[in-house]
Amino acid sequence: MQENNLPVNEINPPIPEQGGKSPWGKFIKKGLFIVGFIFVCMVIAYLLSQALFATVPIKGPSMEPTLYTNDRVLLFKLSNYRYGDVVVFKSDLIDEDGDNKYLVKRIIGLPGDTVEIKKDSSGEYSVYLNGERLIEDYLDDIEPHAEETLELMTVPEGQFFFLGDHRTQSTDSRTGILGDLEEIVGRAFLKYHGEDFFNELTPIPRVKSK
């Protein structure tokens, strides 16, 4: 008999899947990864927001008309502070509970600056920074202006001279107290009214640097 020499194609039989793996397993694993990734991102975003920003309620009239009672300010904690910035800081003043008061005021002078309050040529009491009369546009709506003088002084290293915008209603550096730069919590750059962040949300502009 003639031998059949036709080639034979060898076909390996399919190997059955081990363990009965389901496509749902991959789907669940991928879903858990996405959820975990989102959670980690949220934690990082929260920690960054706590490190960079803070909100503070306003009490009292000392910063009117810039800020009013029940306003809230959003602070930026990593800022290079300069003349005209509105800042929140821990002061040497003590409250009724024996704790240091946190104040919101405007920076007028920084270390090495000279500050003086005296009558100008028009008879108004004005602040002089390094010998130049300050043009304080943010006081235009305040009447009356405070009528008092301050002898020429130099701001010491590590400290700053601060004033409230409503000078007749503010306890500030005119009494001899200065702020410590290390005690500044942050610079106010946004304000809103009440608890609603979007209620009258308004930027607090930086005054032109002197």
pLDDT digits (tens, 9 = 90+) for 80-136: 999 999 999 999 999 889 999 999 999 999 999 999 999 988 888 999 999 999 999
pLDDT tops 80 at residue 202: yes
Q: Are residues 148 and 126 in the same domain?
A: yes
**Of the residues 21, 30, 49, 62, which is catalytic?**
62
Q: 194: pLDDT confidence band, cut at 50, 70 and 90?
A: confident
Does any domain span residue 7?
A: no
Q: Is the pLDDT at 2 greater than 60, yes or no?
A: no
Question: Residue 146 domain-assigned?
Answer: yes
Q: What's this model's pTM, rounded to 2 decimal places?
A: 0.79
| Shared-domain flag, residues 72 and 167 | yes
Q: Please tell me whether residues 130 and 169 are part of one structural domain.
A: yes
Residue 86 sits in the same domain as residue 125: yes
Among 20-29, 46-55, 123-132, 140-149, top mean pLDDT goes to 123-132
Print the domain residue range for 38: 24-50
- Is 148 a member of any domain? yes
Annotation says 105 is catalytic: yes
Active-site residue, 22 included: no
**What six digits make up the tokens of 122?**
């028009």
Residues 78 and 117 in one domain: yes
In angstroms, the Cα distances linking 202 to 31, 107, 199 are 41, 20, 9
Could you report the per-residue pLDDT of 50-75, keeping only the tens digit for each?
A: 778 899 999 999 999 999 999 999 99
Kind of pairing, strands 114-119 and 71-76?
unpaired
Pair 41, 76 in one domain: no
Of 30, 77, 90, 105, which is the active-site residue?
105
- Say how many domains are in the chain: 2
Closest CA to 102 of 47, 64, 55: 55
Q: In the predicted model, is pLDDT for residue 1 greater than 60?
A: no
| Shared domain check, 142 and 85 | yes
Asked if residue 117 is part of any domain, the answer here is yes
Statement: residue 10 has pLDDT above 70: no
Classify residue 186: in a domain, yes or no.
yes
Q: Is residue 15 part of a domain?
A: no
- Whether 41 is in a domain gets the answer yes
